[in-house]
Structure 1
Amino acid sequence: MSTVGRALSLLDAFSDGSASLRLTTIAARSGLPLPTTLRLARELVAWGGLERQADGSYRLGTRLWVLGGQVPCQRRLADAGRPYLRGLRTATGRAVALTSLDGDRLLIIDELDAPVSRGSHLPLHATAAGKLFLAHGPDALRQRVLSDLTRLTPYTVTAPGLLHRQFADIRGGSLAIAKEERHLGGTEIAAPVGPTGDGGPAAALSVIAPSVPAARRAVPLLAAAAAALTAHLTPSLSA
């Protein structure tokens, strides 16, 4: 692996949404020796890609946030979606998020009060939005994701057969929902933004509620917000 690849593997250690990590954890996740990890971490701190905290742990640096905000596609989506995200947050009183597909993971484009930060990556199989992308995405995506399923809570669905049935239900119009599958105490529901054909929607809007009944009460408001954002984005999505 090249020096650049090793440095990037340090940054990728945070892809599960961890706010901060100890050096030993970064080394374990990147598969690099501890001395190499320390050397690269110091270089990334000097560049601004990592920040070393008072307790000795590391977190992603603000330079990454600045650069990430310049990505044209995601920036346009975040700017367009923010008013709808605010409206959905006010209408439901719940945490909300705008997400997109990034490779085989879910990318948080923007959020309000959600238990994950903007720019975080989450596993597709354990999130409502991720299940939307898996349901409407290509077979190759489903095969890759379902070949390596991690149980994040006791309620994470890791049986490929059950997930395939959920995907079929979602394609048939059922609600995309994840009941405490990514973190305990949080039920997520999601609605697609943009057409669901040709590889899946452009994005997804999600509501995170403390229970299934609370999440289901937000369904009409979520659907309306997703439809409104889709209508707003339609000219750029079809361009």
Structure 2
Amino acid sequence: MGESVAGRLFSVLDAFEDGGPAALRLTDIAARTGLPAPTALRLVRELVAWGGLERGADGRYRLGLRLRMLGAAAPCPRGLLDAALPELRALAARTGGHADLAVRTAPSADGILCLVSGDRLPPHATAYGKVLLAVPPAVLPRHTRHTVGSPGVLARQLAGIRTAGLAVCAEEFRLGEVSVAAPVRGPAGTLAALGVTVPTGVPLDRVTAAVRAAAARVRPPEPPPYPSP
């Protein structure tokens, strides 16, 4: 018996969650799923109509807003966000920047999802991503002239960030912006990155101190107990 329609839809979504690029052409989706191009096109169109995928002006497809909203509503991210919201509000008020909480989109994926804004960020070019990265991604796209393009340089940065417990990215993702982030830790390690984005030129001493303090004060919710057999 062939794969179910639901299974084929899931395979299309899985094509975006294996560490590859965040945007794929239809031919890429067909190749990654093993589906015939007409079948892939039909499923992609259904997902676009539902909001699970978005088609960009360049013809490439990206994960859609509806999936981001569902992901942010999942118990683990939702609970983390609820726990962090008071600190995020205070951090934004203190620094005048945009405060956010970011998580990995999946253990095997390189994307970073911001739970407040819903933005997906490149992991190698933002402070949030550098807090959450274990090793450099295979591909380091350049977003500005300041983006780190060498895996060796990025690996040294990540080691320093793990030691310091803080990441600072100056104009690596967007010109005119500096992001600062620190890890939110639980019993099993780093769960999220809490940080703020401020305009270039803002004195960073108070910003870095405020980010460190805010991340340290977040208490992740306890996971629900497993039901008794």
- Normalising by the residue count of structure 2, what TM-score does the alignment of the two structures yield? 0.71
The alignment yields a C-alpha RMSD, in angstroms, of 3.7
In 2, are the aligned partners of 1:193 and 1:204 still within 8 Å (CA)?
yes
Could you tell me which residue of structure 1 aligns to residue 84 of structure 2?
81
2:115: which partner in 1?
110
Cα deviation for residue 172 of structure 1 reads 3.2
Residues 1:163 and 2:166 are matched in the alignment: no
- Which residue matches 2:120? 121
Residues 180-219 of structure 1 mapped to structure 2, 5 A cutoff: 180-194=171-185, 200-211=189-200, 213-219=202-208
Amino acid corresponding to residue 7 of structure 1 in structure 2: V
CA contact (8 A) 2:179 2:197 kept: yes
Distance 1:133 1:59 in 2: 22
Separation of aligned partners in 2, 1:60 and 1:47? 11
1:205 positional shift: 0.8
Contact 1:10 1:41 in 2 (8 A): no
Structure 1 CA distance for aligned equivalents of residues 103 and 90 of structure 2: 19
1:236 aligns with 2:222: yes
C-alpha distance in 2 between matches for 1:167 and 1:201: 14
Task: Please list the CA deviations of residues 24-72 of structure 1 after superposition, one character each: whole Å capped at 9, or x if unmatched.
Answer: x74266356875554223322454535789xx99886665355324421
Q: For 1:170-225, what per-residue CA distance to the aligned partner results, in whole angstroms no more than 9, with x for missing partners?
A: 23327411111122221111111126x96x41111111112154444411211221
Deviates more, 1:159-168 or 1:101-110: 101-110
Aligned equivalent of 2:42: 39
- Structure 1 CA distance, aligned partners of 2:69 and 2:165? 38
Paired with 1:165 and 1:11, the residues of 2 have a C-alpha distance of 28
Which ranges of structure 1 fall in alignment gaps of 5 or more residues? Answer: 19-24, 112-116
Partner of 1:30: 29
| TM-score of the aligned structures, taking structure 1 as reference length | 0.68
How many correspondences in the alignment? 209
Inter-partner Cα distance in structure 2 for 1:165 and 1:65: 31
**Alignment match, 1:91:** 94
CA distance in 1, matches of 2:40, 2:52: 14
Matches of 2:111 and 2:143 in 1, distance apart? 15
Unaligned runs of 5+ in 2: none
Name the CA shift for 1:131/1:66 in 2 (closer, same or farther; >3 Å).
Answer: closer
8 Å contact kept, 1:126–1:182: yes
Is the 1:105–1:122 contact (alpha carbons within 8 Å) kept by the matching residues of 2? no
Do 1:128 and 1:176's aligned partners in 2 also have CA atoms closer than 8 Å?
A: yes
State the alpha-carbon separation in 2 of the partners of residues 191 and 48 from structure 1: 32
Structure richer in helix, relative to its length? 1
- The question of whether the paired residues in 2 share the 8 Å contact of 1:74 and 1:109 is answered with no
Cα distance change of structure 1 residues 26 and 204 upon mapping to structure 2, 3 Å threshold:
same
Where in structure 1 do 4 or more consecutive aligned residues deviate above 3 Å?
9-12, 15-18, 28-38, 45-48, 50-53, 56-63, 212-217
Distance 1:161 1:212, change over 3 A: farther
Between the aligned residues of both structures, percent identity stands at 41
The Cα shift of 1:95 comes to 0.9
